[in-house]
Chains A and B, each alone.
Chain A
């Protein structure tokens, strides 16, 4: 089987679009700060599973899309997700063999980087400082949701022969 024989790219695109839609899904006010970072999780998964297909550029593109949708500065999410894609692509060999309970900590760390970076940009823009550690809540919810995201995306990838 040819290593460079790609197929099932639409599954990747569809999963990203679904993640972006989940990022826009209206939630009650108290829950908005707890919204898991779907886009970052999907990005991390594909960077681990198919590092040859999904990498820094996909991270940048999905981040730019998120910026345009959320109304944040153009490039804010793009830069953060580029960093996440780079790190998870760099670590993909190790991450693949980690058991899930070890992976969740890495995911927590990566999502925390995204939100720490966003908080820093907001601070530079002159927004009032966030109360407590609100910007880390998405990392906590992503921590708990990662096993489900990982197993369902893996089933999807295997079932639809994405490679």
Chain B
């Protein structure tokens, strides 16, 4: 146990045992998912129609936004051309399904139904429609284990979207609560501020929403303020998640919108690896 906690050489054993027991996930998840699907098949015609209508509306909205996106993309390419920087490419994405399996109730992890066969690797970021969910920590052939950002072992470098202030977001083990670490008492932060990934640490692509600040209290006499945030992603209620393979070029450049007077606080963002 101590070896597993403190050293890395049990990794292969862990991976082997994980792959060996992974079929049991299918055994428990399959009947439950099929039962849910069966229930869906018998769900009322009226409900399906309503859902269909909802999706149509949503689709229309997204289409309209997409038109704007096209325009913005052209503009962006143009501006990037002016700056002489290399254009970015479309990231590789994959939709995975969360398996109906309960893990240790004290940690925040989940199993998804994509694995090495789908080129999933350890460290791959996982998203939902609202924001960052977590990262892959173990891979089997057709399943992998994802550590959510609320897990007490997880820390992620972020920045405040409004000011560009850098900080770290750490999981607490509670469902909808994240801690902001190493924020000075004088930090410019408001409740409701959005936190986005900063791209430091090299695991998560930058610019994705992570959390919304819910609590900020300077503690005089302490070096750092007390701050909490609520994750933007629906961590416990999702069925489909998105895996995004970040671009090498993109994750190596931290965002440059930090105002000049902001000290480059918390550059010690190498803590992004879960301490497994």
Contact = CB atoms under 8 A, between A and B. Distances in A.
Contacts of B5: 73, 124-125
A64 B10 CA distance: 13
Nearest to B99: A26
Interface stretch (A6-14, A51-59, A94-102, A126-134): A126-134
B94 interface: no
A130 B100 contact: no
Contact of A121 (B1, B25, B172): B1
Of A25, A27, A69, the most chain B CB neighbours within 10 A belong to: A69
B182 interface: no
Contacts of B27: 21
B106 interface: yes
B152 A26 contact: no
Contacts of B106: 122, 127, 130
A6 to B, nearest CB: 25
Interface stretch (B15-23, B49-57, B194-202, B264-272): B15-23
B104 A24 contact: no
Contact of A126 (B4, B104, B109, B152): B152
B104 A72 contact: yes
B21 A71 contact: no
Contact of A27 (B13, B18, B21, B102): B102
Interface stretch (A42-50, A74-82, A84-92, A151-159): A74-82
B217 interface: no
A67 B174 CA distance: 21
A75 B4 CA distance: 8
A71 B138 contact: yes
Contacts of A127: 106-107, 152, 173
Contacts of B100: 26
B47 interface: no
Contacts of A41: none
A66 to B, nearest CB: 9
A21 B104 contact: no
A68 B20 contact: yes
A125 B274 CA distance: 12
Contacts of A20: 24
Contacts of A76: 1
Nearest to A126: B152
Contacts of B97: none
A153 to B, nearest CB: 21
B102 A69 contact: no
Q: Which 8 A-B pairs have the closest CB atoms?
A: A75-B1, A68-B17, A32-B105, A70-B104, A74-B4, A68-B21, A26-B100, A24-B28
15 contacts: A17-B24, A21-B27, A24-B28, A25-B32, A25-B102, A26-B100, A26-B102, A35-B102, A64-B17, A69-B24, A71-B103, A73-B5, A75-B1, A76-B1, A127-B152
Interface of A: 17, 20-21, 24-27, 29, 32-33, 35, 64-65, 67-76, 79, 121-122, 124-128, 130
